[in-house]
Structure 1
Amino acid sequence: MSISLQGSPDLKAAREVADYLGTVHHEFHFTVQDGIDAIEDVIYHIETYDVTTIRASTPMFLMSRKIKSLGVKMVISGEGSDEIFGGYLYFHKAPDKDEFHRETCRKIKALHQYDCLRANKATSAWGLEARVPFLDKEFINVAMSIDPEAKMIKKDEGRIEKWVLRRAFDDEEHPYLPKHILYRQKEQFSDGVGYTWIDGLKAHTARHVTDKMMSNASFIFPHNTPTTKEAYYYRMIFERFFPQNSARLTVPGGASVACSTAKAVEWDTAWKYNLDPSGRAALGVHLSAYDAETPLSNKPSKVIDGIPRMMAFPGVAIQS
């Protein structure tokens, strides 16, 4: 089962995999406006104001409603593999195997605040149960005992993100997947559903949060002060539902590039000018990366076919 905007990177790949494996494929579509209309419900159910979690939780929330309507009670989801195997695009900049391993540990320990929070609450909001095989304790113990050198991304050797995991499914005699699917570049869920999703969110929130509001953000929200209009917009909704200080303290903060921890932002000095949890913020790595010259929080938008889009380099982005 998959969900996306029409014409998204994930849509084509999901169809191709289903055809290749001969499985029944349920494809759900949503529009940017559908997602925007669901934001308040998403923040209420997920209980967060974290930008990347809300971006990804919204399509998952919409998909869970559709799945439940089919009479399905349980689904299997792939959360955890990027944290365990270093699948996010920022891992391209890991300076050495020790820091690579430390970052995977940091990401795993924070899963309950991000991806697991999303997968659990976006589904349970509709009475659906999500199970996550990559987070089986025995699997984690084995995967984390692997020499991190074997997990590292090495472009000169043709090694990309989640290299060890991909190789495990690369069977020449009985291929599990077509090669170009097995070795697709990592695409974060909130990007893979269609680039106009995040771009539309930025355009929408920019219309509802003024520059004056941003200038007073540190006075209104002294804890985890929002640094973008998108973050401010989510924070306003969160505070309306959960005004207690104890609630806002449960949400993590800190700088992030392509879903990195704040510590990993230090891997590339250019990243401090390019802070955004989207995979397209991984400049020089993502095939459709944002324009490096414009800060992401202030990136201008243009309208194509009636849909707000943010300026970005042309290219084909693909997901692993």
Structure 2
Amino acid sequence: MCGILAVLGCSDDSRAKRVRVNGEIYNHEELRKRLPNHKFRTGSDCDVIAHLYEEYGEDFVDMLDGMFSFVLLDTRDNSFIVARDAIGITSLYIGWGLDGSIWISSELKGLNDDCEHFESFPPGHLYSSKEGGLRRWYNPPWFSEAIPSTPYDPLVLRRAFEDAVIKRLMTDVPFGVLLSGGLDSSLVASITARHLAGTKAAKQWGAQLHSFCVGLEGSPDLKAAKEVADYLGTVHHEFHFTVQDGIDAIEDVIYHVETYDVTTIRASTPMFLMSRKIKSLGVKMVISGEGSDEIFGGYLYFHKAPNKEELHRETCHKVIEFIWHARICFPIKVESINKRFSSLIWKQIKALHQYDCLRANKSTSGWGLEARVPFLDKEFINVAMDIDPEWKMVSKFGYQIWILLLFICKNLEHQNLYSGFSLNFQSSSDSNRSKDVLRSGFLGGPLTMRSAPICQRSWLNNSASFNIY
């Protein structure tokens, strides 16, 4: 038995196969050309999934380029497969009932009442009812523990990233870009603006790009984003929120993001507030700069690494932090936690990218807004992860690889190289208000998890510095 819950996207019933999909298949036009003898019922990008299964069996998933999670049921023998995209951009969970049933949902809330046990469906994996278990379909060369040695080629990296952005311009709905004024989002906005003119989307929705930013009124983040938007010539939308708005949204953020992890909730709050306002404008899709820090060692403490080997080891330390955050929702067995290169840690390195992008996906999808992330493009990651990590370190001239990439791209000659959203409680009264909200007891409300008291204590201890993005 297969319970299909929280169904999103499109369906295809041809040839006795039924598909439920959440996501986008960017290379669907290319895939249709591989199926000359198949008759497609619609022009939907998801339409190719059932036909690829008919032609290639379960091994077709690696052909898909996009962000997706799907369930395919073959009614001829009642067998089914479940798959999730390589990086885990779209959310997906799997659960097991007491009667042996298997349940699939895009939200944890859909499984809580019916399943004895449930867990996150691992990115880059496929579940086959015929085989009765999970197997990995995504096995890129960079999964090796060996430190890569490929020299940095800016033209190759530029081409790969531009391709990642361009393919995400495939849309039939109004869209825009999220712009914080920082390096990552500015680069995404720059390339999007430059390539938008010749696309189908431009003909349908106009060639001038819309950009969106959120922050406290008068914050430097808003100023930086406005400067970049003016430089690029976008139609810029600036949204403001207050400390009280952030506090009032916490309960809803927890409900939609489905975690009590303090860092995740703080980072999700501005995205959640902004998504509501973007959707109210009729915009249904945004392109975001999520994911670059994990790939290129962009976190500030990474820059203290004395050499590339230590930079690689620092990545492992970050993964350990992720492991313990993940235990809030899903207890896992951690063996040899102090052994930097244990198999468990390397397993987590392979799934490193899913944390930030999943947070962003849940924050936006709570309002029916789709977020696309070119930094987490499968082909781009293969190129980026193959670069010698020495190039990802800050050089003696103070430049990191992304600064060099900007010079090569010549898209954006702008001074805003780094910024992020932050919400700091400037007074003890603000801090006390946040504590009062948490003590009010709503943490046991719409989403119940065993570790809520632990998260509550952590939030109270850190509430004086509420950095939410």
Whether the TM-score (by the shorter chain) exceeds 0.5 is yes
1:70–1:208 Cα change, 3 Å: closer
Paired with 2:369 and 2:281, the residues of 1 have a C-alpha distance of: 11
Q: Which of 118, 125, 129 is the equivalent residue of 2:359? A: 118
CA-CA distance at 1:244 after TM superposition = 4.3
Paired with 2:310 and 2:391, the residues of 1 have a C-alpha distance of: 14
Kindly indicate whether the alpha-carbon contact (under 8 Å) linking 2:431 and 2:463 is maintained by their aligned counterparts in 1.
no
CA-CA distance at 1:102 after TM superposition = 4.2
Q: Give the gaps of 5 or more residues in structure 1.
A: 192-196, 211-229, 256-275, 277-295, 302-308, 311-318
- What corresponds to 2:389 in structure 1? 148
- What corresponds to 1:198 in structure 2? 424
Q: Which of 375, 398, 402 is the equivalent residue of 1:165? A: 402
Paired with 2:297 and 2:354, the residues of 1 have a C-alpha distance of: 17
Look up the equivalent residue of 2:424 and give its one-letter code. I
Secondary structure in 2 matching 1:170: helix
- Which has more helix, going by share of residues? 1
Paired with 1:201 and 1:236, the residues of 2 have a C-alpha distance of: 23
Instruction: Please say which of residues 26-35 and 88-97 is displaced more in the overlay.
Output: 88-97
Q: Give the gaps of 5 or more residues in structure 2.
A: 1-211, 323-348
Paired with 1:132 and 1:164, the residues of 2 have a C-alpha distance of: 19
Which has the larger Rg? 2
Look up the equivalent residue of 2:398 and give its one-letter code. G
Kindly indicate whether the alpha-carbon contact (under 8 Å) linking 2:254 and 2:447 is maintained by their aligned counterparts in 1.
no
Does 1:24 find its partner at 2:24? no
Secondary structure in 2 matching 1:49: coil
1:125–1:244 Cα change, 3 Å: same
- What corresponds to 2:34 in structure 1? none
Counterparts of 1:42-53 in structure 2, within 5 Å, are 42-53=253-264
Secondary structure in 1 matching 2:235: coil
Look up the equivalent residue of 1:143 and give its one-letter code. A
Kindly indicate whether the alpha-carbon contact (under 8 Å) linking 1:91 and 1:153 is maintained by their aligned counterparts in 2.
no
Instruction: Let me know the Cα RMSD of the aligned residues.
Output: 3.6
1:135–1:236 Cα change, 3 Å: farther
Does 1:33 find its partner at 2:244? yes
Secondary structure in 1 matching 2:214: strand
- Cα deviation digits, residues 243-262 of structure 1 (max 9, x gap): 344x86xx99xx9xxxxxxx
Instruction: Please say which of residues 201-210 and 144-153 is displaced more in the overlay.
Output: 201-210
Does 1:243 find its partner at 2:469? no
Look up the equivalent residue of 2:290 and give its one-letter code. E
- Cα deviation digits, residues 109-150 of structure 1 (max 9, x gap): 24434x122211110000110011100111111101101001
1:104–1:202 Cα change, 3 Å: farther
Q: Which of 405, 410, 413 is the equivalent residue of 1:175? A: 410
- What corresponds to 1:127 in structure 2? 368
- What corresponds to 2:419 in structure 1? 187
Q: Tell me the number of residue pairs that the alignment of Structure 1 and Structure 2 aligns.
A: 224
1:138–1:103 Cα change, 3 Å: farther
Kindly indicate whether the alpha-carbon contact (under 8 Å) linking 1:55 and 1:198 is maintained by their aligned counterparts in 2.
no
TM-score, normalised on structure 1?
A: 0.60
1:82–1:207 Cα change, 3 Å: same
CA-CA distance at 1:209 after TM superposition = 4.4
Identical residues among aligned pairs (%): 61
Look up the equivalent residue of 1:99 and give its one-letter code. E
Kindly indicate whether the alpha-carbon contact (under 8 Å) linking 1:3 and 1:59 is maintained by their aligned counterparts in 2.
yes
Paired with 2:271 and 2:440, the residues of 1 have a C-alpha distance of: 20
Q: Which has the higher contact order (CA 8 A, sep 6+)?
A: 1
Secondary structure in 1 matching 2:367: coil
- What corresponds to 1:137 in structure 2? 378
Kindly indicate whether the alpha-carbon contact (under 8 Å) linking 2:253 and 2:363 is maintained by their aligned counterparts in 1.
yes
Paired with 2:246 and 2:277, the residues of 1 have a C-alpha distance of: 14
Kindly indicate whether the alpha-carbon contact (under 8 Å) linking 1:169 and 1:175 is maintained by their aligned counterparts in 2.
yes
Paired with 2:361 and 2:428, the residues of 1 have a C-alpha distance of: 26
Kindly indicate whether the alpha-carbon contact (under 8 Å) linking 1:79 and 1:134 is maintained by their aligned counterparts in 2.
yes
- What corresponds to 1:68 in structure 2? 279
CA-CA distance at 1:52 after TM superposition = 1.8
TM-score, normalised on structure 2?
A: 0.42
- Cα deviation digits, residues 222-268 of structure 1 (max 9, x gap): xxxxxxxx9xx3996444333344x86xx99xx9xxxxxxxxxxxxx
Paired with 2:380 and 2:295, the residues of 1 have a C-alpha distance of: 10
Does 1:10 find its partner at 2:250? no
